[in-house]
Amino acid sequence: MRVIIQRVSEANVKVDNKVVGAIDQGYVLLVGFTHNDNLDDLNYIIKKIKFMRLFDDNNGIMNIDINDIGGSLLSISQFTLYADVNKGRRPSYHHSMEYNKASDMYHKFNDMLIDEGFRVETGIFGESMKVSLVNDGPVTIILDSKGDNYERVEL
């Protein structure tokens, strides 16, 4: 499972020129799944999101988590996070989870975030979306539940 976190001062997502999700201060989450992702991956990423300190304290140091600022989440499904660009010029998406399973995982992920107490807004899975955001910082963090060749550290 991969999630790109962008710290934002505001963000929204539109489908067919209608806003379907919007937040003020918080995170935009671009969320992608691969074939062997499971509940453990969801739990790992959710813990990271919940406790990662990406907001500035009084000294301008990123030392405050999203809970402390009462921030919200805008969760956007994005299968392209598993694009394979090693061959040719057109990305292959064979590493992305199959559509129906990914849809189930995405909805489960969002439900679990809500269960953790977050205010969660979403796009619409599988739709063409227009995401607008003001990246605050800018701060952009890449999370990968498999570690992406880095040592995985549990909280």
d(CA 28, CA 78): 12
The residue annotated as part of the active site, out of 33, 79, 109, 125, is 79
- Catalytic residue flag (residue 25): no
Amino acid making up residue 20: V
Q: Among candidates 47, 75, 46, 52, which has minimal Cα distance to 65?
A: 52
Amino acid making up residue 12: N
The residue annotated as part of the active site, out of 33, 34, 55, 78, is 78
Q: What is the CA radius of gyration of the chain?
A: 15
- Catalytic residue flag (residue 79): yes
d(CA 12, CA 2): 21
Amino acid making up residue 66: I
- Cα→Cα distances 129→15, 38, 43, 144, Å: 5, 26, 26, 23
- Catalytic residue flag (residue 78): yes
Phi and psi of 21, rounded to 5°?
-160, 140
Active site residues: 78-80
